[in-house]
Amino acid sequence: MMVQYGFANPANWRVMKDCNQCGKCCIKYGGGDLSATKDEIALWEIFNPEIFKFVKNGEIWFDPESGTRLKKCPFLELLPKINSLAPNKYTCIIYLDRPEDCRHYPSLVPEMIRDECEMIEAIDLVKPKQAQRRLDLLMKGSRPPSYS
């Protein structure tokens, strides 16, 4: 699904690419670079013990048996390929209960560029301010109210 935003001048309309589930962000940050809020952890403990068992001393993702920090998110799964030439696609099996860190990504075009996000197009590199406005619109529902 492609999304088109109604900017005032139709000449500035451009479609922003949807996430293609390449998994780059989840693979890069899914280990020790993520955090969860105390509230998220408390809710997981009560309502999602299958997630909570990967929490240790208020930090995520730890092996429930050994207690060692995992190098990747335990909830990131590789989807079956539709054919042998298809690119890898990933899914988050706790998508609706994922940490805020995951929900709020991406927040800045420079971080998308740094992370080689496949949503970035060549025009975004030339016009980063416009790209940031489109990203802000796209992510509006995923960001905390205090985000400006």
Domain boundaries, the chain: 3-80+87-142
Taking CA atoms, 114 is separated from 5, 108, 117, 142, in Å, by: 25, 10, 8, 21
Residue range 43-67, pLDDT digits in tens: 999 999 999 999 999 999 999 999 9
Average pLDDT in the 67-92 region? 95
Q: What angle do CA 78, 142, 138 make, to 5 degrees?
A: 90
pLDDT value for 68: 96
Question: Measured between alpha carbons, how far is 123 from 55 in angstroms, rounded to an integer?
Answer: 41
At position 125, the amino acid (one-letter code) is L
Conformation bin of residue 13: beta by default, left when phi > 0, alpha when psi is -120 to 50: beta
Query: Is the predicted pLDDT of residue 3 greater than 50, yes or no?
Result: no
Query: Is the predicted pLDDT of residue 30 greater than 80, yes or no?
Result: yes
CB hemisphere CA count around 19 (13 angstroms): 16
Q: Are 119 and 142 in contact (CB under 8 A)?
A: no
Query: Is the predicted pLDDT of residue 142 greater than 50, yes or no?
Result: yes
Question: Measured between alpha carbons, how far is 23 from 26 in angstroms, rounded to an integer?
Answer: 5
Question: Measured between alpha carbons, how far is 116 from 120 in angstroms, rounded to an integer?
Answer: 8
Question: Measured between alpha carbons, how far is 131 from 122 in angstroms, rounded to an integer?
Answer: 10
